[in-house]
């Protein structure tokens, strides 16, 4: 069995990229100015596009295809604008387009000199599985900030994927207390697997049990612990954990299928909204609301419904949606 699913290994990397954008003031993310920014700031149509991007990312946590195409045209018109480069970087993060983001970060084949861009590039390379490319960047970043638990975790994961168990362990162990305090289960699970690979079964058992204590349904940790118990001669416990892993994998497969269906429905909703098929938007949003997992997702779907009802002149229903959204926000 693989160490973990891709979502387990890298999902937090993408979440961290998006969170970085969400918690930073938009102006701070795009505060640098370049040669083309004076003209950009004096262009009312360009400013309207940037305001639309701002609104979409704050309200819907994405950038629509229409707005993204407008942003690309602006970059063609103002190729030297640092403000537009910042907006493009953030838009690609929100759209989860890691390949395009990597191209942006190394334009003209030149790696970024800015430290934040280096961190972003390293995270993107990990997300894409480019471990050989990520390793030297992370080594440089860790050297400059050796107590950074996020960077150490990424460096450890990267070295592990490159087959360098000792270097991976060195990165994890340097910030082990912080990893435990932050309950960084993927890193703890990998450290346990390294102990297993090195034949240190008792340390592997202790480390993997810690990972499962923090996340009982973590597939990798349960699978590795099953192997440990088998090697320790406890076949009953090994079989018990193997059955648990099989059940978890079955549930994950079902969840992945459901999630892919929701993604398709969300794309369908966005397309319907862009094409002003407002009744279709309302119906799709209603179906998606039934399975919405977070307040922010429900808020976005209700906003779609509110806007659609308003566009159809159905103000009473729009007001009812507004009140529903207000009650959820309390």
Give pLDDT tens digits for 287-330: 999 888 777 788 888 989 999 999 999 999 999 998 888 887 65
Distance, CA of 230 to CA of 238 (rounded, Å): 5
Domain 183-263, CATH class in plain words? mainly alpha
Mean pLDDT calculated for residue range 73-85: 92
Of 181, 255, 192, 184, nearest to 221 by C-alpha is 192
Q: How far apart are CA 231 and CA 211, in angstroms?
A: 19
The pLDDT, as a whole number, for residue 122 is 95
Residue 114 corresponds to which tokens in the numbers above? Answer: 């800015």
Distance, in Å, from the CA atom of 278 to the CA atom of 281, rounded to the nearest integer, reads 5
Per-residue HEC secondary structure of 58-124 comes to HHCCCCCHHHHHHHHHHHHHCCCCHHHHHHHHHHHHHCCCHHHHHHHHCHHHCCCCCHHHHHHHHHH
Categorize the per-residue pLDDT at 5 as very low, low, confident or very high, splitting at 50, 70 and 90.
Answer: very low
Q: Where are the domains of the chain?
A: 183-263, 276-329
Tens digits of residue pLDDT in 196-231: 999 999 999 999 999 999 999 999 999 999 999 999
Nearest C-alpha neighbor of 145 from the set 153, 108, 321, 13: 153
**Residues 6 or more apart in contact with residue 289 via CB below 8 angstroms:** 298, 301, 302
12 pLDDT band, cuts 50/70/90, is: low
Q: Are 318 and 310 in contact (CB under 8 A)?
A: yes
User: What pLDDT does residue 4 have?
Assistant: 40
pTM for this structure?
A: 0.72
100-117 pLDDT tens trace: 999 999 987 888 888 999
Q: What gap in Å lies between CA 135 and CA 140, rounded to an integer?
A: 9
Cα of 104 vs its chain's centroid, Å: 18
pLDDT at position 33 over 90: no
The tokens of 125 are what?
A: 């390379």
How far apart CA 289 and CA 222 sit, in angstroms, is 33
Distance of alpha carbon 63 from alpha carbon 48, whole angstroms: 14
In this prediction, residue 6 carries a pLDDT of: 46
**Structure confidence at residue 229 (pLDDT):** 97
Report the distance separating Cα 245 and Cα 268, nearest Å.
34
């Amino acid at each position: 069995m693989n160490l973990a699913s891709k979502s387990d290994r890298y999902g937090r990397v993408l979440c961290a990229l998006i969170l970085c954008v969400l918690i930073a003031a938009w102006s701070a993310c795009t505060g640098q100015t370049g040669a083309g920014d004076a003209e950009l700031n004096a262009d009312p149509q360009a400013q309207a596009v940037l305001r639309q991007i701002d609104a979409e990312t704050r309200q819907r946590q994405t950038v629509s295809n229409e707005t993204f195409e407008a942003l690309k045209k602006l970059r063609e018109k103002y190729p030297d604008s640092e403000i537009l480069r910042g907006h493009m970087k953030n838009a690609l993060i929100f759209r989860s387009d890691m390949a395009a983001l990597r191209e942006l970060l190394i334009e003209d084949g030149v790696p970024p000199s800015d430290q934040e861009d280096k961190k972003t590039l390293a995270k993107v390379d990990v997300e894409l599985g480019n471990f050989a490319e990520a390793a030297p960047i992370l080594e440089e970043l860790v050297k400059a900030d050796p107590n950074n638990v996020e960077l150490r975790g990424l460096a450890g994961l990267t070295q592990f994927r490159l087959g360098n168990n000792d270097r991976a362990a060195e990165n994890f162990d340097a910030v082990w207390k912080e990893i435990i305090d932050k309950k960084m289960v993927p890193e703890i699970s990998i450290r346990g697997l390294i102990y297993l690979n090195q034949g240190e079964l008792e340390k592997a058992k202790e480390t993997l049990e810690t990972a499962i204590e923090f996340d009982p349904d973590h597939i990798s940790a349960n699978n590795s612990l099953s192997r440990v118990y088998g090697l320790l001669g406890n076949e009953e416990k090994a079989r018990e954990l193997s059955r648990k892993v099989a059940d978890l994998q079955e549930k994950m497969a079902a969840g992945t299928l459901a999630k892919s269906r929701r993604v398709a429905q969300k794309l369908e909703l966005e397309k319907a909204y862009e094409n002003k098929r407002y009744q279709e938007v309302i119906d799709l949003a209603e179906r998606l609301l039934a399975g919405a997992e977070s307040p922010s997702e429900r808020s976005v779907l209700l906003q779609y419904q509110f806007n659609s009802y308003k566009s159809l002149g159905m103000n009473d229903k729009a007001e009812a949606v507004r009140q529903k959204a207000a009650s959820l926000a309390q």
